[in-house]
Amino acid sequence: MLLAVCCLFVFMGTGWAQDDATKEEAPKGFDRSRLFVGGNFGLTFGNFTFINVSPQLGYRFNDMFAAGIGINGQFSQLKYKSGGTTLYKERYGVAGMNVFGRFYPIQQGFIQLQPEMNYIWGSRADYTPQETKSSINGKILPSLLAGVGAYLPAGRAGGLVIMAQYDLLHKSSNYPNPATPYGSNIFLTVGFNAGL
């Protein structure tokens, strides 16, 4: 009888120990390990030159939601040549800021909404028959990027981010007034997120 009572207490103690081990409290408040940095960076040189530096800082609130802020910096230059002669050259610049929100319906796929405000400026130089220069009206324009993306883990705290996005507020150019920087088509971006 004493052996049966001892066995009963051992089994009950083991069961309670397992219950306590599976109950983990979710951390409350700010958790630095949920911060991530990333963004898009790009370089192209030649008759078409494009430089993009657009870093972002985000916070993963839980498995389903993340949000953050970013800055945009872009420069592009297009030289149109014919027979080795430059006919015209266009230069554009973009400087702005954004906030973004992500919803993860599945672990490695997300839907993103990103409102932006960008200051856009530029100039054009025509070289035939004589050189003439003109500028676009520098202007602050809003963009609202909506898209879907995939997060492909690469290591302990980082991963590759591939996105397809579209500017819902796209505005076409009416020279000398600028257009929004993303065009009227769906565009793809590839970036990297790293945990802090």
Give residue 24's pLDDT: 54
Q: At residue 39, what is the residue type?
A: G
Q: Is residue 10 part of a domain?
A: no
Counting as low any pLDDT under 50, the low residues of the chain are 2-21, 23
Q: Is residue 132 part of a domain?
A: no
Give the span between the Cα atoms of 67 and 32, in whole angstroms: 14
Q: Is residue 26 part of a domain?
A: no
Give, as one character, the DSSP assignment of residue 12: H
Give residue 172's pLDDT: 87
Give the span between the Cα atoms of 70 and 180, in whole angstroms: 17
Q: Is residue 105 part of a domain?
A: yes
Q: Is residue 17 part of a domain?
A: no
Q: Where do the H-state alpha helices sit in the chain?
A: 2-22
Instruction: Tell me how many domains the chain contains.
Output: 1
Give residue 146's pLDDT: 98
Paired tokens of 161: 């981010």
Q: Is residue 136 part of a domain?
A: no
Contacts of 106 by beta carbon, 8 Å cutoff, 6+ apart: none
Give residue 7's pLDDT: 46
CA 152 vs CA 67, 110, 112, 149, 190: distances in Å: 18, 11, 16, 10, 11
Q: Is residue 130 part of a domain?
A: no
Q: Is residue 15 part of a domain?
A: no
Q: Which domain covers residue 114, as residue numbers?
A: 47-74+96-121+141-195
Give residue 37's pLDDT: 95
